[in-house]
C-alpha cells in the first residue's frame, strides 16, 4: 500500500509541476502577443493619457513577473481578475459556462464509454469477419473526420433535412432536464462519434492482444465458450489499457470541445474562449486556457493512477 501511495504522490507532484509550467506558458504567451492590450481595448482613437490610465488600471505598468505572481496567486484562490469587455469577475463568467461544458462531456461519456466497451468486445469476438472489417472502416472514418465536419454533417441530416433536433444548442435557465438533453443531443452525438471509435479500437486491440496468452489457450482447450473466455478471462486483464484510454478520452471530451461548441453555438467554456479571443479579452483567455490545462492534467493523472491500480506490474515495477 505504501508503494502505491508513493507512486500516486509522485504522479501528483509531476502534475503540479506540469501545471505550473503550463501557467507560465499561458501568461507569457499572452504577453508576447503583438500590440498593446490597453490600445486594443480602447481602440485606435484613444489618447496617450487614456492609454496610460488604462495601462495603470490593468497593472501593465508593472513588470511581467510581478503580474504573473499576482495572477497565479489569485488563480489558485479562484480569482482570475476582471473581464476587460464586460467588467464582471472572470470566475463569475466562467462558472456557468464550465458547468455546461461538464454537462456536455458527461452526456457524451455516459453514451460513449459503455457503447465503446461493448462494441470492442463484440468486434474482438467476431475478429476477421465482415462485421469486424466494416467496424474498422467506420471507426477509422470517424477518427479521421474533424469534429466540425461531423457536426455539420449531423446538422445537415438531423436538423436541416429532417428537423429532428435543433441546429443551435440554445440553453436557458429553468428548462427541464428533458429539454436540456434534447437541445444538446447533436453536440453530444458529435463527441460520441469521435471518442467511441477510438475507445472501441483500443478495447478490441487490448482483448485481442490477450487472446494469445497461454492461460487463454488453456481456457479454450478446456472447452470454455469464446464469449466466456473474453468476459471472464481476457477482459479483467485488459482493464488497465481500457481505463487509460477511457480517462484520456474523457479529458478530450472536456478540453477538446471548442470546435463542437462553436459549431452548435453551445454556451460552454470553448465558446467563451473563442469569443474572448475575438474581443481580445485576455483575462478570460488566460482563465479558460488554465482551466482546460488543469482539467486535462487532472484526468491524465487519473488515467495513470487507474493504470497503476489495475496493473500489478506497475504497482510492483521490480
pLDDT values of the chain reduced to their tens digit, one per residue, 318 residues? 566 777 778 888 888 898 899 889 988 887 777 666 666 666 666 677 777 777 777 667 777 788 888 888 888 888 888 887 777 888 888 888 888 998 998 999 999 989 988 888 888 878 888 888 888 888 888 888 888 888 889 999 998 888 888 888 878 777 888 888 898 899 999 999 888 888 888 888 887 877 777 887 788 788 878 777 777 777 777 777 777 788 778 888 887 788 888 889 888 888 888 888 887 788 888 888 888 888 888 888 877 777 777 666 555 555
Round the average pLDDT of the chain to a whole number and report it: 82
Residue 187 lies in a domain: yes
- The string of pLDDT tens digits covering residues 81-102 is 888 777 788 888 888 888 899 8
C-alpha 54/C-alpha 51 separation (Å) is 5
Residue 77 lies in a domain: no
Q: What is the pLDDT of residues 158-197, one digit of tens each?
A: 988 888 888 888 787 778 888 888 988 999 999 998 888 8
Nearest-angstrom CA–CA distance, 105 and 240: 22
Is residue 66, in this structure, part of any structural domain at all? no
CATH number at residue 191: 1.10.3720.10
Domain-embedded: residue 4: no
Domain annotation covers residue 317: no
Whether 241 is in a domain gets the answer: yes
* 191 and 260 Cβ atoms separated by less than 8 Å: yes
Cβ atoms of residues 104 and 268 within 8 Å: yes
H-helix or E-strand spanning residue 127: none
Tell me which residue range forms the domain holding 193. Answer: 104-275
CA atoms of 78 and 295, how far apart (whole Å) = 14
| Tally of structural domains, the chain | 1
Gap between the terminal Cα atoms of the chain: 15
The DSSP string of 151-195 is HHHHHIIIIITT--S-SS----TT--HHHHHHHTHHHHHHHHHHH
In a domain, 8, yes or no: no
Length of the chain: 318
- For residue 49, give every residue at least 6 positions away whose Cβ sits within 8 Å of its Cβ, in sequence order, or none: none
> Do residues 138 and 131 make contact, with C-beta atoms less than 8 angstroms apart?
no
Q: Do the Cβ atoms of 148 and 266 come closer than 8 Å?
A: no
C-alpha grid cell, residue 287: 482563465
Q: Tell me if 213 is assigned to some domain.
A: yes
Amino acid at each position: 500500500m505504501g508503494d502505491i501511495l508513493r507512486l500516486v504522490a509522485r504522479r501528483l507532484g509531476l502534475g503540479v509541476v506540469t501545471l505550473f509550467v503550463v501557467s507560465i506558458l499561458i501568461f507569457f504567451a499572452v504577453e508576447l502577443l503583438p500590440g498593446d492590450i490597453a490600445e486594443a481595448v480602447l481602440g485606435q482613437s484613444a489618447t496617450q493619457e487614456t492609454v496610460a490610465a488604462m495601462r495603470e488600471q490593468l497593472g501593465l505598468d508593472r513588470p511581467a513577473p510581478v503580474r504573473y505572481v499576482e495572477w497565479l496567486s489569485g488563480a489558485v484562490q479562484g480569482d482570475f481578475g476582471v473581464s476587460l469587455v464586460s467588467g464582471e469577475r472572470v470566475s463569475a463568467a466562467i462558472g456557468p459556462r464550465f458547468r455546461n461544458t461538464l454537462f456536455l462531456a458527461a452526456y457524451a461519456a455516459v453514451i460513449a464509454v459503455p457503447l465503446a466497451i461493448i462494441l470492442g468486445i463484440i468486434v474482438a469476438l467476431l475478429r476477421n469477419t465482415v462485421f469486424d472489417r466494416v467496424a474498422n472502416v467506420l471507426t477509422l472514418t470517424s477518427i479521421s473526420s474533424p469534429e466540425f465536419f461531423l457536426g455539420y454533417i449531423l446538422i445537415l441530416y438531423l436538423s436541416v433535412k429532417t428537423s429532428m433536433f435543433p441546429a443551435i444548442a440554445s440553453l436557458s435557465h429553468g428548462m427541464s432536464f428533458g429539454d436540456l438533453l434534447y437541445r444538446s443531443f447533436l453536440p453530444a452525438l458529435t463527441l460520441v462519434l469521435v471518442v467511441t471509435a477510438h475507445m472501441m479500437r483500443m478495447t478490441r486491440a487490448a482483448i485481442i492482444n490477450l487472446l494469445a496468452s497461454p492461460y487463454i489457450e488453456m481456457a479454450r482447450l478446456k472447452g470454455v465458450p469464446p464469449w466466456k473466455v473474453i468476459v471472464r478471462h481476457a477482459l479483467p486483464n485488459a482493464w488497465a489499457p481500457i481505463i487509460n484510454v477511457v480517462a484520456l478520452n474523457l479529458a478530450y471530451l472536456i478540453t477538446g470541445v471548442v470546435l463542437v461548441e462553436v459549431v452548435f453555438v453551445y454556451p460552454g467554456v470553448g465558446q467563451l474562449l473563442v469569443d474572448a479571443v475575438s474581443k481580445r479579452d485576455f483575462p478570460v483567455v488566460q482563465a479558460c486556457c488554465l482551466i482546460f490545462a488543469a482539467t486535462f492534467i487532472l484526468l491524465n493523472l487519473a488515467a495513470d493512477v487507474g493504470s497503476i491500480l489495475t496493473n500489478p506490474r506497475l504497482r510492483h515495477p521490480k
